[in-house]
Amino acid sequence: AKKWINIRKSYGNFYKVPRNQTKLTIMLEKLGMNYDGRPHSGLDDSKNIARIAIRMLQDGCELRVNERMHAGQLMTVSSSAPLEGAPVPQMPRYRN
């Protein structure tokens, strides 16, 4: 992966909370959710992060790529950069 969404950074920026309030368990707690599964299990952590992302989208957040690797260095991507990704899905057209 050369670019990704750092959910902790997105969460902190969207909800205006300091970095020390963006640990997985704290983010879930502040959103009124319990941790599902075993802590530090890659699969369970991923599922909980997805739950946070879904809630952020429901709350109006536009999740964007905010970090990338360039020449082996971690780079922050500007929030004013254009949105990346696939085009918005369209409703299928049916023939009559």
Instruction: Return the ∠ at Cα 75 (arms to 40 and 58), rounded to 5°.
Output: 60
Q: Is residue 44 part of a domain?
A: yes
Give the separation between CA 32 and CA 43, rounded to whole angstroms. 21
The total number of structural domains in the chain stands at 1
In this prediction, residue 50 carries a pLDDT of: 97
Sign of CA dihedral 18, 65, 2, 55: positive
Instruction: Read off the CATH number of the domain in which 36 is found.
Output: 3.30.420.10
Q: For residue 86, what pLDDT band results from cuts at 50, 70 and 90?
A: very low
Q: Are 2 and 69 in contact (CB under 8 A)?
A: yes
Q: Is residue 40 part of a domain?
A: yes
Give the separation between CA 17 and CA 5, rounded to whole angstroms. 17
Assigned token pair, 33: 């959710």
Q: What digits encode the pLDDT tens for the residues 8-67?
A: 999 999 999 999 999 999 999 999 999 999 988 999 999 999 999 999 999 999 999 999
Res 5 pLDDT > 80: yes
